[in-house]
Structure 1
Amino acid sequence: MISIQAYNFNQAQAKIDQLCHLLIDSVAQGASIGFLPPLSQAVASTYWQAIIGDLQTEQRILLVALQDDQIVGSVQLDLPSKANASHRAEVQKLLVDSQFQRRGIAQQLMHQLEQQAQAQGRWLLVLDTRQGDKAESLYRKLGYQAAGAIPNFAQAADGATHTTIFFYRELEHSV
């Protein structure tokens, strides 16, 4: 049974080793999420420490998917603080452990993320992903619209560059 929880600073700090494992696994599996393999524990830990710091300022929401007490997935919602951005948020780093993929966990995380966004008054969500990745089809299935693509945006470990597609989705909201 998978449960989805929003983690606060203390919860995330207590599970930093599991979060690092999730990130390292995702990068090793070829996820285009800003890192290149092999990703070290030290680099992963530095990344998560920065994210955990954002949880204290309430500019970020971290959702984790748990099986028993083990983190098997996560996604983040970055909440811009600019005055003209109080209606939008950016979806970041949707990760599912390679041993738990194809079980609907990413979809569960995204549905919960959208509910969290609405609870924060955020109804326009934006994100980006590498063209052709399985994430692209997931986002389309969930109702995200392609806004455009930039060729050669992200570099892979082999030096090849790939197109990145930017998506958006407007959630239900009152005017």
Structure 2
Amino acid sequence: MPDAIIRVLTEDEARDALPALAEVLSDCVEGGASVGFLQPLTPQDARPFWEGVAAAVARSETVLIVAEVDGRALGTVQIGLATMPNQPHRADIKKLLVHRQARGLGLARRLMEQAEAEAVKRGRRVLVLDTATGEPAEAIYERFGWQRAGVVPDYALMPDGRYCATTFFYKHVFARCRNVE
């Protein structure tokens, strides 16, 4: 297994990584992942999304984490920090993506562990996410200790246009918050 580096990107680093991030998103959508986009999605089509993420990083609304193997970004996850004033303790986990070439290397677990640690550093103690019901990611989150909150039928579309239910998950990381200095 090749060594992977998991790290948080600055705005400039995010902008430099746009081509690789766009490739990861495109690959995941073309592979059938329900992450908000419809097929076909080329890397060029995915680029504006990542430009928006880089801008959100600059505004401290998003933490962008990547997994790099041999210097190439092959996985990513985001922490959404832009919550309402009554939710300063909560964050959204968004777009856990691993390129199909890099699946099975443990990148998803390492990205999620880093996301949890980064959220705790920022004083967040309740994390939430959603994923397509019945898809592989749903089982992954359960293995990572996330609690199922419920399912909304016909919440989103799969990349091919079919309706899909969405499962919402949460995780309390309060115990970790008390241990962070």
With normalisation by structure 1, the TM-score equals: 0.96
- How many residue pairs match? The answer is 174
Which gives a bigger RCO, structure 1 or 2 (Cα 8 Å, sep 6+)? 2
SS in 2 for 1:85: coil
For residues 104 and 40 of structure 1, the distance between their equivalents in structure 2, rounded to whole angstroms, comes to: 26
Q: Deviations 1:85-140 (Å, cap 9, x if unpaired)? A: 11000000000010010111100000010000000000100000001111111110
Q: Deviations 1:4-33 (Å, cap 9, x if unpaired)? A: 010011001111111110110010011100
Pick aligned residue for 1:151 from 150, 153, 172? 153
Pick aligned residue for 1:160 from 139, 156, 162? 162
Pick aligned residue for 1:83 from 85, 95, 106? 85
SS in 1 for 2:60: coil
Q: Give unmatched runs, 5+ long, in structure 1.
A: none
Instruction: Say what the alpha-carbon RMSD is for the aligned residues.
Output: 1.1
User: Are 1:138 and 2:126 matched, yes or no?
Assistant: no
C-alpha distance 157-20 of structure 1, shift in aligned 2 (>3 A): closer
With normalisation by structure 2, the TM-score equals: 0.93
Aligned twin of 2:99: 97
Query: Does the Cα contact within 8 Å between 1:80 and 1:88 map onto a contact in 2?
Result: no
Q: Give unmatched runs, 5+ long, in structure 2.
A: none
Aligned twin of 2:43: 41
For residues 29 and 122 of structure 2, the distance between their equivalents in structure 1, rounded to whole angstroms, comes to: 30
For residues 24 and 157 of structure 2, the distance between their equivalents in structure 1, rounded to whole angstroms, comes to: 21
C-alpha distance 9-157 of structure 1, shift in aligned 2 (>3 A): closer
Pick aligned residue for 1:16 from 6, 18, 36? 18
Shift of 1:157: 4.0
Give the % identical residues: 36
Shift of 1:79: 0.3
Q: Which amino acid aligns with 1:127?
A: L
